[in-house]
Every structure is written in C-alpha cells, then in structure tokens.
Amino acid sequence: MATKREVIEREEVVIRFSGDSGDGMQLTGTLFSDSAALFGNDLVTFPDYPSEIRAPHGTVGGVSGFQVHLGHTEIRTPGDYADVLVAMNPAALKANARWLKPGATVILDSDSFDEKGLGKAGYTIDPIEEEKLNDYNIIRVPITTLTRQALDGLGLDMKSVLRSKNMFALGMVYWLFARPLDHTIKYFENKFKKRPLVVEANRRVLQAGYNYAETIEALTPTYMVSPAEIPKGTYRNINGNVATAWGFIAAAEKAGLQLFIGSYPITPATGILEELSLRKEFGVKSFQAEDEIAGICTALGASFAGSLAVTSTSGPGLALKSEAIGLAVMTELPIVIVDVQRGGPSTGLPTKTEQADLMQALYGRNGECPVVVIAASTPSNCFHYAFQAAKIALEHMTPVLLMSDGFLANGSEPWRIPSSKDLPSIKPPIVKEGHENFQPYARDPESLARLWAIPGTKGLEHRIGGLEKDALKGSVSHDPLNHEKMVRTREEKVQRVANYIPKQEIEGDQTGDLLVIGWGGTYGHLITAVNEMRKEGYRVGLMHLHYIKPLPENIETLLGRFKKKVVCELNLGQMAGYLRMKFQDHHYHQVNKVQGLPFTVVELIEAFSKILNED
C-alpha cells in the first residue's frame, strides 16, 4: 500500500537527466520542461551534448545531459547545481557528481551498475564511496528490468523495449514533483499517431515509473513548485534557434519580402535551417548548400534579387564565409549572417558553448570591411534580435552579423508570443520604376543607405561586383581618392546605425562600486549574480551589450558612473580588448572561462567579491 504523500513547497528546483547518447536524455528533459511550462512554471534549460558523434557506449565521453531549472519566481539560469540527478549508467554519475547540491536525490539505474559498466566509467570501487555521496538520497532502481516487465507481452523487439526506459525515469520524476502525465501522453499520441504500439509502450513505461515511485518510501517527501506569476498572454517553450528562425519570418512579413535562407548544416546552428525549411506556408525558401561558401553566396544572390536573405553558421563556417561577407559590404546589399558560436579553434568542441568569435565578427575580413554586429542574450530574445538584425540590414543596406551561441541555441525558456501588430515596421529603400536620375550609390542623407534596385526593373540597370565602386554611379573605379571616400562612407554608414538603436541601459544600481559588463548568452548568470551581490549590500550594476558595432552612444557616460568595471565573457577577453580600444580612459577587470560550459553564479559572485575587496 502506498504511503501518504508528504508534499514540500519549493520556490525553485534543478533537475538533471543524464545517460548515454542513445538513452533519450534530451527528449526526457524536453518533455519534462514542456510539462513544467504548461503547468505555469518559469524555467531555463541547458542541453549538454557529447562532442563525439559515436563515443564508446558507457564512457564519460559519451554522456549526454539535460538540465532544467524551474521555479515559482523568475528563472534566469539553468542552475549551478542539481537537486535531483537521474543517472542511467555509472558514466553519467561520474560526469555529474560534482554538480550535485549537498543532500541531493540521485536516481540510478542499478541494472547498469555492474562490473562492466563500472569499468567503462573508470570506477575501481563503489561509486557512491568514490564520489563521497553517502549522505545523499541515493535511489537504486532496476529501471531496465522494470521496463522489460512493463512491456512484457506487447510484442516489441528488445531494442525497442530498451529504448523506452527513459520514460520510466521520467515517470518517477513526474511523481516526485507531483506533475500530471497527461501532456506527455498527448505528445506520444500526436508524435506516433501512425504507430499505436509505440504510443502504448511509452504510455505503459511512463505510468510504470510513476507507480513505482509512488510505492517506494525512499522517494518521500515529494515537492511542489507552484506556477509563476507571469503577464497574461499566449506562451510556448522555445529554444534560441527556433526563436531566431521565427524572428526572420516576422521580419520578412513586416518588410513585405520573401525570406530566403542559404546555409550549410553545422552544429549548433543547424536548427535554424531546419526550422525555416519547415515554414513553406510562410513563403520561406530554404536551400541546403554543398558548403559554407555556397550558402552565403546563394543568400547574397537572393538579396540582390530582392529577398530578405539569411545565412546561418558557426565559427568555422564564419571563417569560410568571410570573403563573401566582403562582397556584401562592397555591393552594399542587405544580408543577415547568424553565427551560433561554439568551442574552437578548428573543429574544436562542436556541441559546447563559447564566445570566442567576437573579434572574427568585428574584423575577420580583408580590407576595411565594416558590418553591424549585434548579439542576443536569452533563448527567447533571439526572436527580437533576429528581427532587429533584419530590420537594420534592410533599412541601412548593410550586412549584419547576429551573434548567438550554443547555450542560447539549444537552451529553452517560456516565451510570450508577440502580436504582429506590436512589432515595428520595416521599410527597405526599394526604388521603383520611373525613378528620375537613378544613381545606384546615391544615399539617404541621414542613414547613408543606398537605394535597392531590384534586377529587371526598367531603367534601373547598374553595375555590381567586388571591385571598388564609383561613389555615385557604381561603375568600377581605381581612383585613389574615390576609394578612400567609399571606405570612409561604408564605415560611417555602419556607425550611423547608432542613431537608430536604443541607448544602453544598466540593470541594478545605476551608480556604485562595480559595473559588470557582459554580452551574449552570459546574461542570465550575470544578472542573477548581480542581484545576489545587491542583496548583500553591494552597489553593483549590469551593462549587458546587445549592439556591439556600433556601440550605443552613451556607453562612456555609463562607464564613468562606477569605481570599478569587470568584463565577463566565455573567451580570454575579446570584449574587454574591444572596450579598451574604444574607451581607453577606463580600467577593466576580467572574468574569463573557456571550458565549453556557461558561467556558474557561484564562481561569478566569488570573482566579484574579490574585485570589490581589492585595494
């Protein structure tokens, strides 16, 4: 008979699902996150993939994890340390033991903790002893055996049976956090509606895990994290890649243009191409190119033909696209290049996050080759900054480089879906037939944007290409003074974008002892650390940069309000170096990390405290 459930209210909780790449941990974490979002919790997720495609089964190198931080209040990070860890094998325990909170609950598939499994993970003694987990709530469950029993007689082959064991673990976690199974069962029914046997297998195992958790006393008490108080609206759980894709769709609609993406698949940017390829109902044209150079060149061709043109990539692909970006600068055609950063150099760490492409984005091309550079900072605001990148590119006739990273691309959070009527207008400077005295490089006096003449429009024929242009007619020019004029004009055009972007704001204290400076996907960890420091009585503010080139006009004024400045980034100091170039009268401390992992709030607070307490 089941014991009476004792339920403890919690403000927030962190759960990590971990196992081999084939154990379905990403799906398990996603289903739990979707259920939490539908329940009304605020949340942030952190999928963590192995870099090796086929790492040896049962080894630490092949461990795949998914962490979700959910709460009753606003959640900004996926959490530093886990309250609950599901470890499907010894390697998963070894990889994640250091990320457990004291006294955390650890659910183990005891069937995998045999001599062979322990050996592959590198354990020589009892892993609980070796990891010093005796004071933790260790729940040993024969998940594999119980999954087989639940599916006995259903007629599935053994491979399919074992593929379902992640649902047993999910069912246990649902019971632990008093979550209904309905949403997940509906997912099975929709996903596998043509395969009723798969629906039934997953439903049975999910229910079996839930029932098992209910009958063992080791999993009491259970926990309740109440829904968060959030503004009314229609929400969905969204990751950064999907949000980026949708931002471009919205921008194309606002501009009255067709959206074209020409890209080559590359981790972790591929999801943008995949999502846009599914959106033919919005008139999206997608082209999977044979390489990175073809990807951007097809997009540039689409831009020349009058489309909102996009190409997506990661650091290695951005290097390959550099010459064609230069062509876009020379021809002054609008295009958005998305760089979803990952660990480098070379092939590096394809599935891990980093922020080390900033200097490449700013200067990684031949000649004086200016482009606008902006960066998203949360999975959901990838939508906003994709929209803004497209708006700037179209209205200013310039390439825009949109910076994302692996943490944003794969992480997810609830997103309030905006209404199209609330989005700003986009008005590209397309010139129509009958325009008198058309000159292809005549410019708007305020923005310096040239006119956009669509090929085939009568009377608007003009030369285009990679050779230097005459400052007005666009014909090839080798004149030294004309070249300098065009170089300075192209740079000034990018700098004038500062007149059309918001002034920089500071969160937290507006003046004080320490200004924390960040950019990109570090935002959630930085603002959480800043808020914790303020609770301790420190006067700390956060200046998180979204517009990087050009920088907002009021940056130097804001820098002067604080005694000390610290730049935090997942590289060796690229933004710090950029700010030193721009604002030389200030001293910048640095907090840097290049482990393929995001910051933790704990390490940031320690670093900030040290800087504040220095003489």
Q: pLDDT per residue over 30-73, tens digit each?
A: 999 999 999 999 999 999 988 777 778 889 989 999 999 999 99
For residue 220, is pLDDT > 90?
no
* Average confidence (pLDDT) over 383-411: 98
The third-level CATH classification (topology) of the domain covering 7-224 is Pyruvate-ferredoxin Oxidoreductase; domain 3 (3.40.920)
- At 22 the pLDDT is 85
**How confident is the model over 353-375, as pLDDT tens digits?**
999 999 999 999 999 999 999 99
- Whole-structure pTM value: 0.95
For residue 141, is pLDDT > 60?
yes
Contact 209, 203 (CB under 8 A): no
The pairing of strands 63-71 and 588-592 is unpaired
Helix (H) / strand (E) element for 587: namely none
Q: Where in the chain is the domain with CATH 3.40.50.920?
A: 507-613
* Average confidence (pLDDT) over 323-348: 98
For the record, the structure tokens of 511 come out as 């003046």
- At 56 the pLDDT is 83
What DSSP string runs through 534-586?
HHTT--EEEEEESEEESPPTTHHHHHTTEEEEEEEESSSSHHHHHHHHH-TTS
- At 218 the pLDDT is 66
* Average per-residue pLDDT for the chain: 95
CA distance 202 to 189: 10
CA distance 241 to 380: 9
For the record, the structure tokens of 444 come out as 């708007």
| pLDDT band at residue 436 using 50, 70 and 90 as cut-offs | confident
| pLDDT band at residue 99 using 50, 70 and 90 as cut-offs | very high
CA distance 84 to 407: 21
- At 444 the pLDDT is 97
- At 138 the pLDDT is 95
Contact 366, 392 (CB under 8 A): no
Collapsing DSSP states into helix, strand and coil, what is residue 477?
coil
Q: Where in the chain is the domain with CATH 3.40.50.970?
A: 236-422
Q: Where in the chain is the domain with CATH 3.40.920.10?
A: 7-224
Determine what percent of the chain falls in helix, strand and coil, rounding each to the nearest 5.
40, 20, 35
For 326-347, b/e burial (b = at least 16 CB within 10 A) is bbbbbbbbbbbbbbbbbbbeee
* Average confidence (pLDDT) over 370-384: 98
For residue 115, is pLDDT > 80?
yes
Helix (H) / strand (E) element for 105: namely strand 100-109
**How confident is the model over 448-499, as pLDDT tens digits?**
999 999 999 999 999 899 999 999 999 999 999 999 999 999 999 999 999 9
- At 382 the pLDDT is 98
What CATH code is assigned to 507-613?
3.40.50.920
| pLDDT band at residue 1 using 50, 70 and 90 as cut-offs | very low
CA distance 270 to 112: 33
**Residue entry with tokens 């956060």:** 542
- At 473 the pLDDT is 93
**Residue entry with tokens 């960066």:** 375
Q: What is the CA radius of gyration of the chain?
A: 26
**Residue entry with tokens 């998305």:** 338
* Average confidence (pLDDT) over 226-234: 87
CA distance 482 to 532: 55
- At 585 the pLDDT is 95
CA distance 29 to 167: 10
| pLDDT band at residue 2 using 50, 70 and 90 as cut-offs | very low
- At 127 the pLDDT is 96
* Average confidence (pLDDT) over 502-517: 98
For residue 6, is pLDDT > 80?
no
For residue 3, is pLDDT > 60?
no
For residue 233, is pLDDT > 70?
yes
- At 51 the pLDDT is 79
* Average confidence (pLDDT) over 13-40: 94
What CATH code is assigned to 236-422?
3.40.50.970
The CA distances from residue 437 to 45, 79, 456, 460, 547, in Å, are 56, 61, 17, 10, 36
| pLDDT band at residue 5 using 50, 70 and 90 as cut-offs | low
